[in-house]
Amino acid sequence: MQFKRTDVLVIGSGLSGLFASLVLAERGLKVLIVTKEDIDISNSHFAQGGIATVIDFDQDSFQKHIDDTVTAGDGLNRRDVVDHFVRRGPGIIESLRALGVQFSTRGDGHLDLGCEGGHTERRVVHAGDITGTELISVLKDRVVKDRRITIWQHHTAIDLITTRKFTLSAENRVAGAYVLTQEGVVITVAAGSVLLATGGCGKVYLYTSNPDVATGDGIAIGFRAGVPVANMEMVQFHPTILYHEKMRSVLLSEALRGEGGILKTRDGRTFMEKYHPMKSLAPRDVAARAIDHELKKRGDDFVLLDMTRLDPAFLEHRFPNLLKKCLDAGIDMRHEAIPVVPAAHYLCGGLQCTPDGATCIPGLFVAGEVAHTGLHGANRLASNSLLEAAVMAQGAAEGILARHVVPPDEIAPLPRWNEEGVVDSDEQVIVKQNWDEIRHCMWNYVGIVRSDRRLERALKRILLIRQEITEYYWNFTVTRDLLELRNLALVAELIVRSAIKRKESRGIHYNTDHPHKLSEIRDTELCPGELSD
């Protein structure tokens, strides 16, 4: 089978992809979910802390959540967009509970609300410390039982098909996508609407909290199809990833600091008081930069996150999963401090869209981390991304339902994948070499602290790598590794170019040559025509 027709093609099976699929199927549309690995491998699955939303209206308010979001975002947020997401929070929690998601409750039956860095009130709805696992397992169960939803696991979306590419019609709209199977066959999928729910791009950096699927595919796919990106330089580094020789990417949730964890240097001294009035509860950009500064100044490999002043019974109850992971690494957080380092965690920028995920290409919607709505500004407030993913999923589904067109069929066939002249590669080493180079280059030159010289150096290297990959791409049969590498390189270029464009330090973007904020607050935008490929 090399052709498939569906009402809606959903690319990605994280929170946004699964939730949107359920809303669409419930309203009668046929949905095809394409996902790179097993259905439950995604950033969403690994989320620990929870979903930020106002629940306790006696103590908290929408205005306080909005203010905290804008404070963390350093003013780059779009206030109307922040308002949009914050007000939809309580409704989204109810929708998720109605689907069967079990959030943690207190003895009196009310939702248990956690606190995290940057929040001035307790408003993080969570399922113990495995919120993402709970969300994804419930949504997955629903999706696999729904007869209107087809799931293709271990399938990788390559590129979108837009009508501009094969008809003379004046209106450009999305018509489907090319999808690579695990066996190496490329299938042409015709769809009336496409939702890109492909998540972020943590793998562009050497150290990241993200799973291997986070290679920025959706951003690259959308950009190549003609959707501009915004604020790609705003890469959030999580301050506390477990420092361990073998266990990489173990994230130690913000909630640990939220509940009273203290950051210390290796010799046991506190240092956050030098960087922020909220000390260890400072927003994550401040915490990550402070740790980076202390590490470089002292030549240490890690700092410590000390939980030992908290009641061991509370730690066992509140963080059973993290406690176990640390024990697996040989660290008992009840009695000793945990060694931690910062790592790339979340992309605040992404494909430009409305808060409901509509892009400039009719029929093409985006949701979740792949998107740039204006919610996060220059730094995401902890636990606002699951909120964004869920609210966008619902909004995008409504948008698709309202504007949906019938997908093209065999009568007006889409162009098939052209493999003329390509051969199987016997040089896999090129993929591996370029993959490593990009990730080292981004970590060393485009990391937590940047400078004009380092950014220019990074751009030169990334351009050379991209040139090599482009030649390779058109001559050899596509594989998943090659597709990911091509996407990773494009996303790296977008991050570097955006970082060069921003001549100030704001939020998570810190450039030693431009340490101050400009009075004019602007998004950094890049359009597809501005790049060579």
Tell me how far apart the 2 most distant CA atoms of the chain are, in Å. Answer: 72
The question of whether 147 is a catalytic residue gets the answer no
CB of 189 within 8 A of CB of 487? no
Number of residues interacting with ligand FAD: please give it, by CB under 6 A: 44
CB of 55 within 8 A of CB of 121? no
Question: Is 114 an interacting residue with respect to ligand FAD (CB under 6 A)?
Answer: no
Q: Which has the closest alpha carbon to 386: 57, 49, 87?
A: 49
* Closest distance of CB 85 from ligand FAD, Å: 11
Closer Cβ to ligand FAD, 35 or 498, answer by number: 35
Q: What residues have CB less than 8 Å from 162, skipping those under 6 apart? A: 172, 173, 174, 175, 225, 226, 361
- DSSP 8-state assignment for residue 244: -
Name the segment binding ligand FAD (CB under 6 A); options: 8-16, 92-100, 349-357, 424-432. Answer: 8-16
68's tokens: 């905290």
Name the segment binding ligand FAD (CB under 6 A); options: 165-173, 197-205, 289-297, 488-496. Answer: 197-205
Closer Cβ to ligand FAD, 154 or 266, answer by number: 154
Residues 319-356: b if buried by 16+ CB within 10 A, e if exposed: beebbebbeebebebbeebbbbbbbbbbbbbbbbbbbb
Up-side HSE of residue 177: CA atoms within 13 Å toward CB? 29
Give the whole-angstrom CA distance, residue 434 versus residue 439.
Answer: 9
Q: What residues have CB less than 8 Å from 471, skipping those under 6 apart? A: none
Give the whole-angstrom CA distance, residue 237 versus residue 348.
Answer: 11
Name the segment binding ligand FAD (CB under 6 A); options: 73-81, 191-199, 308-316, 349-357. Answer: 191-199
Question: Is 222 an interacting residue with respect to ligand FAD (CB under 6 A)?
Answer: no
Question: Is 213 an interacting residue with respect to ligand FAD (CB under 6 A)?
Answer: yes
Question: Is 157 an interacting residue with respect to ligand FAD (CB under 6 A)?
Answer: yes
- Per CB under 6 A, contacts with ligand FAD among 333-372 are 346, 368-370
Question: Is 383 an interacting residue with respect to ligand FAD (CB under 6 A)?
Answer: yes
Among 5, 10, 23, 42, binds ligand FAD (CB under 6 A): 42
Closer Cβ to ligand FAD, 384 or 524, answer by number: 384
Q: What residues have CB less than 8 Å from 380, skipping those under 6 apart? A: 72, 73, 236, 346, 348
Name the segment binding ligand FAD (CB under 6 A); options: 11-19, 159-167, 185-193, 282-290. Answer: 11-19
Write down the catalytic residue from 5, 284, 380, 454: 284
Among 358, 389, 458, 465, binds ligand FAD (CB under 6 A): 389
Among 5, 6, 9, 12, binds ligand FAD (CB under 6 A): 12
Give the whole-angstrom CA distance, residue 294 versus residue 368.
Answer: 33
What amino acid positions are annotated as catalytic residues?
Answer: 284
Q: Which residues bind ligand FAD (CB under 6 A)?
A: 11-17, 34-37, 41-44, 46-51, 131-132, 156-157, 197-199, 209-210, 213-214, 217-218, 251, 346, 368-370, 383-386, 389
